[in-house]
Structure 1
């Protein structure tokens, strides 16, 4: 089995190596990337700042304003026009369509069926005998032979002209090939192609440098943003949080325990003490109102059906399931 294994240096086990790059590509790449990074970094930071600002404005201002404007436009334009279309224009259009069908379409259909169609048939019979038959005879007897003769003459003339033009075209082709095509081919092969390759390499490196610089500038911008956020947090947020936790929270608890809770207990005690007084005062006012009403208007009359008697009316003579009867209920 060991004798059947391929040697270590065979092409099957060796990894594929990338194509080596020329010294010109390596010499162009580093300066181009440095210059592009210096130019792109401020643009990327400004772009990130504008993106954050635009996102904040879009979420906080533009989207609510756009919704309000959309609702206003719908209320001012869409709904009135929809109502006008549905309740005015559509019924009027239906009425006009029915009137047009009754006043225009039906008479025109009758005119077409009863007048124009027979008249057109009569004219077609007359045209067939007066125009078509003489035209067919003229074509078969005169125009066709004359056309064949003219076509034969034109065919010979065109053949001669074609031979002349073919010779002239061949001469012009070789003249243009020698004077223009061959020099242009030499110029393209030995001048333009090398210059184009050089410009292509330079453009490719510039494009790669722009992409690399944009990514590096994004990372630098992210790092700067995080540093600014940390700085703002340590300068403003952390002192405020520590002040709130170390000073305001204990002071608030002390004020709550020393002032607010006793004041609330005192207020509840006062409320509990005042509530019976208010209830008795209201009861006194209610009784005084009843006495004044009785003094002014007298006792209210009793209902006619109310009779003071010992026996209960109707079926309520006894109450089952209770220890009292209807006679001893009062």
Structure 2
């Protein structure tokens, strides 16, 4: 599976669909676009941004999160930048299945990458953790597993209400996410892969997962491996986070563990992610992990760094390597200096716009 393209094949202008979405989504996405534009000032490539007003506001007005043909509209873009989905007045399964999950499935965005890195100047809630000591990259399976939405309900609204939710694990799905994790581990200094499982209780799907992991590991004798039950993995993430390098997990386990890893490195406001399509015929999607945060929407204090770092992942994916590196360098410089603005989640008093402006200034 290839997630790259040679620079010579790239057109000079890339088209990116921007969906600000709900809550703080538009606030942080605006700063991500600003940072990407600042990083591209001295590059030959450019990005043409097209904004779409989809999300719960669109739902309240039109009865759906997006128009019926929204996937067709997105199909011709080179990438998608998403802010967040979710609203207190709407159940989460409606917002997710109305926008985000259909995008992942339609464009076969089978790999979700979620890095967790402890920056200098950011304090982990774990004691005595030094900058860079926590540096993990979680590969989350993104199109099947526990999020497959297979099942049904009968006898609703009665005492006999029955709900059946089925997880779906295929050999193809397991193989491509696990192999992608091993391939990435080859390019990292520690060359370690940890698999997260629960095969002692899930005797079919997770047993298949374990079998595929063991088989693929034989193809990479230079990679050190371990397999952890998810309940033990939660414990070890806290007890020995430095030992984790590349982690590969199912859809649900990867989602839960990356919320934990984000907090271990200081804030959900630093948690970036990429949803990578299996081939270049489809756009990949980039988004912060933190969600819509309705409690701080409109207050101007949302941390934009997760969205900005997601934009850097997008630039990497588009082979705009130097621009991506300049964003990450600016974020690192910002966090390293106690005199530069930071938002309240990181112990500061800075606003979303002040932090975004500071990143752009450091890029320039």
Please tell me the TM-score bracket, short chain as reference. under 0.3
User: What TM-score results when the alignment is normalised by the length of structure 2?
Assistant: 0.11
Higher strand share: 2
More helix by share: 1
Larger RCO (alpha carbons 8 Å, 6+ apart): 1
TM-score (norm. length: structure 1): 0.12
